[in-house]
């Protein structure tokens, strides 16, 4: 019986296709006496595992990159061997462990390593050379699920905060919905655009009940696409690894590089990883995030060291020079994403490096114990928490809604929280600030809530200021202030042209109703003002204790 089973394994072959090109596909066989990796005519991997090695790998319940020919000398391009190791591990659902102290060089070949099992990079180093890349859109590593997404049919509308959708599923699913007939996030300013299709993402259980912690945030009068992705029930872990990117030398244009680790699976933990960048010169294209998290839920990155990218400038959509956003962390269409005890290699207050995080269409983002140059939500976040953290020169930039909690943190920036003007400076919900220190980078313009709104641009949605703002135990370190300094303001001057009732907003801004302040310390001794624009905020109720 054992021999018969072994023969089935030896002569069994399969084809695994993934990624965006044929060069990222693999065929595994076990019918030769030598384990070796080669490539086919279209660049696909051809992997043969000897019967002896097959038995050994299964017995050890683990494989290493050297098992499939990785040299690890820092010079030989090991991408094929690394990809082959994971292709085999994925088929037999066994972990991967990098060889101790190995130095893996990864060149610009259009090959993506698909990771579907626990991986321990350990103390190995990975040099990713982006100076000659075949396809900048292909990530080096892709953490993916074996489960497949599918279209949800029969649902034509959705309502904000709807508690249940009419589906019957096998278990928890991540649902992404869009309405191409409605445009939102119609960006204003130097990077202006015509907007994006109305989009939302949420979790439902097998009976169709929506997870109340990440609710539906829009009314969908029409649905043009609705997709469900089963959520993996087990946690996949990535541990360790010392990654270094040799930066690209492209002209400074919006040609984003995706050469990092993309996470497209729910329930993933990344721990103890390090990423550094070398070789940044006079020119360079931006990066979309070395750790790029999207289309998934429940991802935690902890005890990880990252690096901000050098800022390059180009001409934006409005025909004027702009600084290009370039990221080491990116979160797009993802729920319940946490960064815990993470930091960056460069000075968080060095403005020659861009803010480390960018995010879109996300819910329940967390910084806890982090030291980063920025927190940012471009096209909306529903619920965010920053605690026990220090944020640098680009501070906190966000639009969205729900609850924004900032506590036990120090912020070095122009504003304590900045509501992004290019997306309407909108936060439909509540902001809570507790036990924090604010060190304004420009004392003369210091304000707790920053933003700008003219009321003349259609962003594709009604724009709100936070309905309620609660401030407890805030310390404002503005002691290095000029003689003509009038003191910090609660609100920046959102609209200098709105000085009286003659100014008319085409798209009215829903203003804050109340601000509650308790135990405020201002080191300059100056009073806290409501704003340079007292008319605009004349109806805001400010309660001080």
- Helix or strand (DSSP H, E) at 255: none
pLDDT over 80 at 3, yes or no: no
What are 362's two structure tokens?
A: 């996300």
Residue 177: predicted pLDDT: 98
- Average pLDDT over the chain reads 94
- Tens-place pLDDT, residues 492-507: 999 999 999 999 999 9
Q: Which residue has the tokens 């309620």?
A: 468
Q: How confident is the model at residue 32 (pLDDT cuts 50, 70, 90)?
A: confident
- Per-residue pLDDT band for 30 (boundaries 50, 70, 90) equals confident
Got the DSSP string for 244-284?
EEE-----SSS--B--SEEEESSSEEEES-EEEEE---S--
Residue 10: is its pLDDT beyond 90?
Answer: no
Q: How far apart are CA 364 and CA 216, in angstroms?
A: 13
Nearest by Cα to 204 from 116, 335, 293, 332: 335
The pTM for the full model equals 0.94
Terminal-residue alpha carbon distance, the chain: 80
Q: What is the mean pLDDT of residues 462-475?
A: 98
Q: Over 178-198, what HEC string results?
A: EEEEEEECCCCCCCCCCCEEE
pLDDT at 7 over 60: no
pLDDT at 533: 96
pLDDT tens by residue, 430-443: 999 999 999 999 99
Give me the pLDDT at residue 416, please: 98
Confidence band of 4 (pLDDT split at 50, 70, 90) = very low
Is the pLDDT at 417 greater than 70, yes or no? Answer: yes
Q: What pLDDT, on a 0 to 100 scale, did the predictor assign at position 23?
A: 53
> In which band, very low, low, confident or very high, does the pLDDT at 42 lie, cut at 50, 70 and 90?
confident
> What are 118's two structure tokens?
């626990």
pLDDT at 156: 95
Give the pLDDT mean for 29-38.
87
d(CA 311, CA 322): 10
- Rounded to whole angstroms, the Cα distance separating 197 from 184 reads 6
> What pLDDT score does 33 carry?
82
Q: What percent of the chain stands above pLDDT 70?
A: 96
Tell me how far CA of residue 379 lies from CA of 98, 196, 200, 494, 540, in angstroms. Answer: 37, 9, 11, 20, 27
The pLDDT of residue 545 is 84
Q: Which of 34-38, 290-294, 298-302, 339-343 has the lowest mean pLDDT?
A: 34-38
């Amino acid at each position: 019986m054992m021999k018969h089973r072994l023969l089935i394994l030896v002569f069994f072959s399969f084809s695994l296709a993934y990624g965006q090109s044929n060069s990222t596909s693999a065929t595994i066989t076990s019918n030769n006496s030598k384990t070796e990796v080669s490539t086919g005519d279209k660049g696909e991997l051809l992997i043969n595992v000897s019967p002896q090695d097959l038995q050994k790998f299964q017995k050890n319940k683990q494989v290493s990159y050297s098992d499939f020919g990785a040299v690890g000398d820092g010079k030989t391009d090991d991408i094929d061997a690394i990809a082959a190791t994971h292709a085999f591990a994925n088929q037999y659902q066994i972990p991967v462990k990098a060889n101790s102290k190995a130095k893996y060089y990864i060149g610009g070949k259009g090959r993506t390593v698909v990771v579907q099992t626990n991986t321990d990079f350990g103390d190995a180093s990975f040099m990713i050379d982006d100076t000659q890349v075949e396809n900048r859109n292909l990530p080096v590593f892709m953490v993916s699920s074996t489960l497949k997404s599918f279209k949800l049919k029969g649902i034509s509308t959705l309502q904000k905060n709807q508690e249940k959708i009419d589906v019957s599923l096998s278990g928890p699913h991540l649902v992404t919905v869009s309405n191409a007939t409605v445009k939102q996030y119609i960006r204003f300013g130097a990077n202006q655009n015509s907007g994006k299709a109305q989009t939302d993402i949420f979790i439902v259980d097998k009976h169709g009940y929506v997870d109340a912690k990440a609710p539906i945030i829009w009314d969908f009068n029409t649905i043009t696409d609705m997709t469900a992705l089963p959520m993996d029930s087990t946690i996949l872990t990535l541990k360790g690894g010392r990654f270094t990117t040799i930066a690209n030398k492209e002209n400074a244009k919006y040609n984003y590089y995706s050469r990092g680790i993309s996470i497209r699976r729910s329930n993933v933990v990344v721990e103890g990883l390090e990423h550094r960048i070398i070789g940044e010169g006079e020119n360079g294209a931006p990066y979309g995030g070395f750790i790029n998290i999207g289309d998934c839920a429940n991802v935690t990155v902890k005890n990880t060291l990252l690096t901000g990218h050098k800022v390059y400038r180009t001409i934006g959509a409005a025909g004027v020079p702009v600084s290009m956003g370039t990221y080491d962390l990116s979160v797009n269409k993802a729920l319940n994403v946490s960064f815990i005890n993470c930091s960056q290699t460069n000075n968080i207050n060095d403005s020659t490096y861009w803010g480390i995080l960018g995010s879109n269409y996300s819910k329940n983002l967390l910084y806890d114990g982090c030291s980063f140059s920025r927190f940012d939500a471009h096209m909306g976040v529903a619920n965010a928490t920053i605690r026990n953290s220090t944020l640098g020169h680009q501070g906190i930039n966000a639009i969205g809604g729900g609850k924004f909690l900032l506590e036990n943190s120090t912020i070095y920036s122009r504003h304590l929280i900045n509501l992004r003007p290019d997306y309407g400076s909108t936060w439909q919900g509540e902001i809570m600030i507790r036990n924090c220190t604010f060190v304004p980078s420009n004392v003369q313009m210091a304000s707790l809530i920053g933003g700008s709104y003219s009321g003349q641009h259609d962003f594709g949605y009604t724009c709100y200021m936070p309905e309620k703002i609660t401030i407890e135990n805030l310390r404002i370190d503005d002691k290095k202030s000029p003689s003509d300094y009038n003191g910090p303001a609660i609100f920046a001057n959102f609209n200098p042209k709105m000085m009286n009732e003659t100014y008319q907003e085409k798209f009215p801004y829903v203003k804050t109703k109340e601000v509650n302040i308790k135990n405020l310390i201002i080191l300059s001794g100056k009073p806290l003002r409501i704003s340079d624009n007292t008319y605009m905020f004349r109806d805001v109720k400010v309660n001080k204790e």
